[in-house]
Structure 1
Amino acid sequence: MRLIPVLSAILVTAFLFMIVVERDRLVAFASSGGAPETSSEAPETVATPVETVAVAENAVRVVAVHSSARMVDSAVVLRGQTQAHRQVEVRAETIGRMISTPLRRGAHVSEGQELCRLEPGTREALLAEAKARLAEAMAQVPSSQAYEIEANARLEEALINDNAARKLSEGGFASTTRLATTAANVKAAEAAVQSAKSGLESTLAGIESAEALVAAAEREIERLSIKAPFSGLLESDTAELGSLLQSGNLCATVIQLDPIKVVGYVPETEINRVDLGAMAGARLTTGQELTGQVAFLSRSADPLTRTFRVEIDVPNPKLTIRDGQTAEIIIASDGASAHLIPQSALTLNDEGTLGVRLVDQDNLVRFMAIELLRDAPEGIWVEGLPENADIIIIGQEYVEDGVPVLPVFEEPA
């Protein structure tokens, strides 16, 4: 019963011996296709071209491609979403009952179009009262002006009499009593002038107060009609007929979708590659492709994500693009010399640096770090490699720097 485990242990030991000790012979046997050795009398075989280029007995076979750098448009790729150009919640500024027929969501509205109308109540009566007070205040102006003119005339007469009395008193022709009387008349006339001026100023103040009341009443009546601040679409129904709107209650929500914004967030490592006015494109989840220009680039980073907001204006005359759709954004940047390689060719070195392994002129492996530019259906664009490079695409994970290899080259896709 113990014979099978013993045989299994012998076979495993023999297999490990062949892999560790007789590795070279095993590799040679595998590369020759397992053909049996021929006797010395057999004719000599002619070496194939692959065998003549072997750089060493322990060279590792790998698959590589000849790659040449090409000038490509470098782009910044982001994820974002569409956003309405403008959106506002139109709210009531006064209290009133809704008396207009409501508009339904999705309706087109023009700038200045009435959305909600409130019942005026006693506001028109208050306006009429304020206008009556204004007319009354304005009617008092002529009498106040006449009283001021009369007071000025009396003051002038009192000054003349006082001057005459003083001259007569100096010549001994007027008594001291008369002089005191004329002086008292001057003071009384001055007081009358001051009173007339105060009355006129009070009348003018009454006019200003009445005008303010009229303006307030008219403004209160204007607030009864709630209008659209700009042309757009109703995102919600307007307030229902008969409902009571308090100050601050919602009348309707209006959005403007032409033009529409595509909003994304640029990481701080890519921010210097984005400029205002740069051409940009976006692809929605529906497959629709958009084109526009960068209209806004934030100067302040988000405190949590350390990214910068970027906005792209896109024309939307038919309103086919909706608010809140997910979009993949590509912003054009300066061109760069890059290689197109398959994604499977990427690898990491011992320090965790992303790169590829190359075959140099001596058929030795050399690791080079790269920088990803963007994805493409046929591969990925990378930079950081020489103008011409032999890139290992199969077997790069089994070799290290300085290891001799026997490359088999394929035509690039």
Structure 2
Amino acid sequence: MSSPATHAGASRLAGRRAVRRWGLALALVASIAALYRLGGYGAASETRPASLAPRPDATSSLPRVEVVRPKAGGVERQTVQPGSVHAFETVDVYAMVSGYLKRQPVDIGTRVRKGDLLAEIDVPREAEAVAESAALLAQARARVTQAAAQLATAEADRTAAEAVAAQAEADIDRCVADRSLEEKAFDRIGHLVQRSAVEPRLLDEERHRLELTVAAEKAARISLRAARAKLQAATARIGQARADVAEAEAAVGVAEARVARAKVDLAYARIVAPFDGVITSRNYHPGAFISSAAAGGREPLLTVARTDLMRVVVRVPDRDVALAQPGDRATLVVDALGNRRFEGAVSRVGESEDHASRTMRVEIDLPNPDGALREGMYGRAVIALEPSTGRLSLPTACVLDRTGKGRGVVQLVREGKVERASVELGVDDGKLVEVVSGVGAGDQVVLRSGASLEPGTPVATRPAG
């Protein structure tokens, strides 16, 4: 038999257990009440009759899925690639003449206008060469004047020779006439002498006069030959004089070319900006000796970059090469400038792929009036390749499986149950994908689901936020 002390201990233990159970029950009730209030019913709902209390939703136990409806408008075909920024033009400025750097009024970062002086080289030999060539030019021109005077003299001599020759021809005509007259007189006197009408001595006298006329005719003919020889000589001297004039004029041309060359060499001592831009590097300071590029100078004096217009180089992958064309809209987003966007267009395409990378060079010209873009920057270049179509589009996350050849699988919710549909896909920009066929504008397409869904599974839907 148990003692009274044993019964008392058992009673105390049972009492403690009962208290513990009631404490747990009260804590459970308090938790349920708190959850009830968080559900939006408030304290007033606690006093509702049992018949008015909310009942559990019949769909609360179903898997919940987020759905979207296809949107009209299609997807614009774009390519997004890294783009590197370069100055539109960059020129290394070399010296064309050797000498000491006299002055250089610009430095790194100096903005220049086309034609501004960048550097001046001290070249005294080139200055002397200009003076020497100018003197040689004056000498050549004097020779032209002298040759022209000699030509005029030769032409005057030929005129005189022509006059002498003409006179000689006239003298021959006169002598021939005199001889003819004397011959007739001689014949007439001879007939008279035969008839003893005149003395024989008259015939001798007439013969003498006839011989004189013959001699005079011979002398005139000799004079004509001499005059014609002098005329030929005068004509030859004219040809020589004209050749001397042409030679002197050619010498003037050579001297003028030497003067021009000397002036060009001297002008090379002044180096000016080839275009509007900024100085990006300099390698010499005043007093340094500068070797010309022709003499082996390998280091440029300065580098000038044109920055009012920048050239963005993009490497377009093979899949987009056929669509990239000059004039396509392009945007450059530069992270270093707070994601600033620069709008432009494709200016030129390489028309040839690199065999190693299978990409094609595409260039975008971007105005840079404030100088924000700088050589070496990079950003994301977005090039619009094709405009959007009237097809439907879905988020790419809706496509579960891509079976290749432009097809995929999506999940639809119809009459509260999941169905799988095969769709034909179009352009995909990474966020949206075109749906050519397989779904309609009113279909509910599953975007996200917290559970694995099989065809025919009942689900509760809510619009994707």
Which TM-score band applies after superposition, normalised by the shorter structure?
0.7 to 0.9
Aligned counterpart, 1:357:
410
- CA shift, 1:195, in A, is 1.2
Which of 314, 339, 364 is the matching residue for 2:393? 339
Question: Is contact 2:74–2:393 with CA below 8 Å preserved after alignment?
Answer: no
Closer, same or farther: CA 352–152 of 1 in aligned 2, 3 Å? closer
Aligned counterpart, 2:352:
301
Q: Deviations over 1:188-215 (max 9, x none)?
A: 1111101111111121112111111111
Aligned counterpart, 1:382:
433
Aligned counterpart, 1:367:
422
Structure 2: how far apart are the matches of 1:123 and 1:383? 72
Closer, same or farther: CA 409–399 of 1 in aligned 2, 3 Å? closer
1:100 aligns with 2:152: no
- CA shift, 1:245, in A, is 1.8
Question: Is contact 1:346–1:354 with CA below 8 Å preserved after alignment?
Answer: no
- CA shift, 1:411, in A, is 1.3
Quick one: which amino acid aligns to residue 70 of structure 1? A
- CA shift, 1:183, in A, is 2.1
Structure 1: how far apart are the matches of 2:138 and 2:404? 90
1:136-175 aligned at under 5 Å gives the runs 136-169=139-172, 172=176, 173-175=217-219
Q: Deviations over 1:140-192 (max 9, x none)?
A: 33322121111112112222322443454466335442232122112111111
Residue correspondences, number: 353
Q: Deviations over 1:46-85 (max 9, x none)?
A: 995699x9xxxxxxx7946242223266152232121212
Q: TM-score, normalised by structure 1?
A: 0.74
- With 117-126 and 300-309 compared, the bigger mean Cα shift is at 300-309
Which of 343, 346, 349 is the matching residue for 1:292? 343
Q: TM-score, normalised by structure 2?
A: 0.67
1:85 aligns with 2:140: no
Question: Is contact 1:131–1:214 with CA below 8 Å preserved after alignment?
Answer: yes
Closer, same or farther: CA 50–213 of 1 in aligned 2, 3 Å? same
Which of 278, 303, 309 is the matching residue for 1:259? 309
Quick one: which amino acid aligns to residue 320 of structure 2? E
Q: Deviations over 1:318-373 (max 9, x none)?
A: 21221121111123452234434263x44434558663423386954223243453
Aligned counterpart, 2:362:
310
Structure 1: how far apart are the matches of 2:149 and 2:451? 109
Structure 1: how far apart are the matches of 2:339 and 2:448? 37
1:14-413 aligned at under 5 Å gives the runs 48=58, 63=65, 65-71=67-73, 74-76=76-78, 77-101=80-104, 103-169=106-172, 172=176, 173-175=217-219, 176-248=221-293, 249=297, 250-271=300-321, 273-274=323-324, 276-286=326-336, 287-298=338-349, 300-304=351-355, 305-332=357-384, 333-336=386-389, 337-341=391-395, 343=397, 345-349=398-402, 355-359=408-412, 364-375=419-430, 380-385=431-436, 386-388=439-441, 389-393=443-447, 404-413=456-465
- Which is higher, the Rg of structure 1 or of structure 2? 2
Question: Is contact 2:110–2:278 with CA below 8 Å preserved after alignment?
Answer: yes
Structure 2: how far apart are the matches of 1:387 and 1:183? 115
Structure 1: how far apart are the matches of 2:380 and 2:77? 12
Structure 1: how far apart are the matches of 2:69 and 2:367? 40
Structure 1: how far apart are the matches of 2:253 and 2:382? 61
- With 174-183 and 128-137 compared, the bigger mean Cα shift is at 174-183
Give 5+ residue unaligned stretches, structure 2: 1-55, 177-216
Question: Is contact 2:354–2:360 with CA below 8 Å preserved after alignment?
Answer: no
- CA shift, 1:234, in A, is 0.8
Aligned counterpart, 2:10:
none
Quick one: which amino acid aligns to residue 267 of structure 2? E
Question: Is contact 2:333–2:342 with CA below 8 Å preserved after alignment?
Answer: no
Structure 2: how far apart are the matches of 1:285 and 1:183? 98
Question: Is contact 2:111–2:277 with CA below 8 Å preserved after alignment?
Answer: yes
Structure 1: how far apart are the matches of 2:57 and 2:379? 58
2:275 aligned counterpart, secondary structure: coil
Structure 2: how far apart are the matches of 1:331 and 1:81? 14
Structure 2: how far apart are the matches of 1:412 and 1:47? 21
Question: Is contact 1:281–1:290 with CA below 8 Å preserved after alignment?
Answer: yes
Quick one: which amino acid aligns to residue 372 of structure 2? T
- CA shift, 1:408, in A, is 4.3
Closer, same or farther: CA 124–356 of 1 in aligned 2, 3 Å? same
More helix, by proportion: 2
- CA shift, 1:397, in A, is 11
